[in-house]
């Protein structure tokens, strides 16, 4: 019997390159790293990255378009999370192992009283 490696999934070069290009951006890479810890809403990202709301929205859209993240409306907020059923999920998880934890960003939100309490 052949052992299956659940951390491994081979993806064609073109698709992999697209994923890497997508995550080859400081903001987006930080975002997925955060989402690997906890779900997070758009307005929280805006505070964290000190960036305009449309800019944040556009980054999230690109990742949603490739299926890496998913959204869920909760009242007036839209909460994003990692899409664990994506065919790229294992690759993303693997990548994130090489990046430092972004937990401090959530701590910072708590401190500033900016954490949204709809979860």
Partner DNA sequence: TGCGCATATAATTATATGCTTATATATTAA
Partner DNA sequence: TTAATATATAAGCATATAATTATATGCGCA
Residues at the site binding DNA, with contacts judged by CB under 7 A: 21, 25, 27, 41-43, 46, 51-55, 57-62, 71, 73, 75-79
Q: What does 91 bind: DNA, a copy of itself, none (CB cut-off 5 to 8 Å by kind)? A: a copy of itself
Subset of residues 7 to 26 that bind a copy of itself, contact rule: CB under 8 A:
8-14, 16-26
Q: How far apart are CA 19 and CA 95, in angstroms?
A: 11
Q: What does 66 bind: a copy of itself, DNA, none (CB cut-off 5 to 8 Å by kind)? A: none
Nearest to 72 by CA among 83, 59, 58: 83
R_g of the chain computed on alpha carbons: 15
Q: How far apart are CA 70 and CA 5, in angstroms?
A: 26
Subset of residues 20 to 79 that bind a copy of itself, contact rule: CB under 8 A:
20-26, 28-30, 33
């Amino acid at each position: 019997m052949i052992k299956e490696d659940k951390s491994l999934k081979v993806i064609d070069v073109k698709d992999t390159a697209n994923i890497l290009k997508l995550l080859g951006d400081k903001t987006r890479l930080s975002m997925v790293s955060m989402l690997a810890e906890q779900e997070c809403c758009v307005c929280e990202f805006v505070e964290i990255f000190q960036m305009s709301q449309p800019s944040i929205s556009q980054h999230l859209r690109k990742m949603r378009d490739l299926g890496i993240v998913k959204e869920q409306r909760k009242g007036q907020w839209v909460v994003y999370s990692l899409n664990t059923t994506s065919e790229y999920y294992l690759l993303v998880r693997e990548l994130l192992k090489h990046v430092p934890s972004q937990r401090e960003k959530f701590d910072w939100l708590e401190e500033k009283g900016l954490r949204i309490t709809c979860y």
